[in-house]
Structures are given as C-alpha cells and as structure tokens.
Amino acid sequence: MLVVLADGKSLEGETYGIEEAFFADKGIEFRIEDCMTEEKVIEKCKDADAILSVYAPITEKVISQLDNCKVLVRYGIGFDNIDMKAATKYGIPACNIPDYSIPEVATHTIAMLLHFERKLGILDKSVKQGEWNPNLGFKSTRLSSLIIGLVGFGNIAQQTADYAKAFGMEIITYDPFIPNEVLEAKGVKRVELDELVEQADYISLHVPLNEGTHHLINEERLKKMKNSAVVLNTARGPIIEQDALVKALKTGEIRGACLDVLENEPAKLGDEILELDNVVITPHAAFNSNQASERLHTRVTETAYDVLCGGVPKNIVNKDVIASLNNN
C-alpha cells in the first residue's frame, strides 16, 4: 500500500515523525510531496491508496484520475479543499479530524475578545511609544453586560459558550440543526441569524465553509449590526465578505473585528485590512498547541489506516459512501 501526504513539503515548520513511524511499523510506504496544484496532485498521488492533505486541491478533476484511492483525509476540522460531491460520486470516503483542537480554538476566540475589549494591543503599543494614558481609545465594557452571538453551535462553539459563561456574558446562537436539549443544557438561547447580528455585541463564527455559508456575513448583515459590534472569525475567511467588512470598519458601521482567518491567505503587505487599527489579526493559528498537533497527526494516521483495513470511522464527512463501505 501507498499513503501520500500531498502537500507536506509545502508547510513550513511541520514534521511528520508520527506518520513515518506508524506506517513504517505497518509495512506501508509513506511519501511526503509538495503538491499545491491539481496537476501536481494527479502526478504525485495518482497511485496512492490513501491521500492526506492540508491545503492541496482535491478537486473533481483530481479525484476522477485517482486509480487506487480508498480514502482522503484532511489535516483539520474544515474540509473545503476537498470536493465532497466528487468524492461521494467516486465512492471515496473523505475524513476530517473534528475534535483535535476544540479547546484551542475556543480559547483563541475568547482570547481575541478579551484582547480587543480590554484594549491590550492599543495600550501596550501606546506605553511603548512613551504614552501613559489608561483612557486611550474607546471605553471598555464589563463583559457581563455583553451579548455574544455564536453562529453555529457545534463542539467549538459549545466550548466557547462555556468560557463566555464564566465571564457572565449572555449567549445567543443561530444553528437550525442543534437539538433544543443541547441549547437548554448550555443555557443558550436560539435566535434567527438576522436577530443574532442585530442583538449581539460580539458575533463569533463557528460554521464550516460551503455554498450556504460563503459570504454569510455580507454587506447587508453588517449593516444590521450595532455600531458597537465586533466580528470574531476563527472558522474560515470566506464566510465573511472581506471587502464589505473593510468598508464597515472604515466607516464605523461596526466597532471592530478579530480575525484568525482571511478571505485570501496568507495576507500580503499592502492589504487594506492590515492597515486598520480596529482589527486584530492572527495567522490562522487558533488550532495551535503541542497537544493539538500531536493529536492531529495521530488521528490522521489512524483514520487513514482504519479505512485501508476495512474500517468505517465516525469522522467520515461524506456519509453517503458508508453503505458501500459496509457492503464491501
């Protein structure tokens, strides 16, 4: 068997000792490539039994030319680099790792909220420039008087709600798929999306990127927000229409934004959003911790091997293929 990590060589600072040791122990060939185009993925991964990827484009063009592929595994929670419809069409299970960094992303969300509301960046910068003014910038608000609106209420949002509750924040959510008993257990109120953006002081995004969520936060919804509202995004950049967000931030339609993800990554010097003082940006780093990294590499490896051995792991995203796997 052959397992290929399609784009591992393209990722600065990553190591794959866990994968190398695991597959070597199983007698499975493991290769690390640098495929960041469809053509490269086809060239380097065509014969693979399993393909692992972070950002490599696993499109229908790619999937249609995979001769042996039995499983696709994505390093992370999101899976927008994999064409799920095509994977299902060709009967290939596609898996993500939905639980490897739940506390990290929830912590990052709250950390960005605290950083912004307590003006840590503004005050730190001012002191280092020779000022000593505790009243610089806007007046901070006591957290227990704020409403946080969670768009999506999956695992990360639920953990975020627990953290926000510790500060006494009121919590509302928009998620048509989560059962009422889950919301009741967490003490969270369900509202419609437009109600959420109108009521919340912090609007935090926790949905996957797909056709239905692309530009979910657009010019129309930004106009419905309070002018004191702050948008938080630790999910995927294109969930927000970035040009509309920049406009809203520049004109004062909203107070600020805390972004771990952008519509186009990586950011480039000269991007207008980098010039705004009312924006906090981190480089898609919310997932990052020693523990999360170890779990991610381990779970990707175990998931690929499970499917190759005839298993049906719970983290298959395109569940329509499960029936055919069971029949095999």
CB atoms within 10 A of CB 43: 12
Contact status, residue 242 vs residue 213, Cβ threshold 8 Å: no
What is the DSSP track for 73-138?
EESSS--TTB-HHHHHHTT--EE--TTSSHHHHHHHHHHHHHHHHTTHHHHHHHHHTT---TT-SS
265 given a catalytic annotation: yes
236 given a catalytic annotation: yes
Contact status, residue 282 vs residue 108, Cβ threshold 8 Å: yes
Contact status, residue 324 vs residue 66, Cβ threshold 8 Å: no
284 given a catalytic annotation: yes
Select which of 206, 221, 236, 299 is catalytic.
236
Contact status, residue 70 vs residue 49, Cβ threshold 8 Å: yes
Give the phi and the psi of residue 53 in degrees, each rounded to 5.
Answer: -150, 155
Close Cβ partners of 169 (under 8 Å, ≥ 6 residues apart): 143, 144, 146, 147, 148
Select which of 74, 206, 284, 299 is catalytic.
284
Select which of 39, 43, 265, 272 is catalytic.
265
**Residues forming the active site:** 236, 265, 284
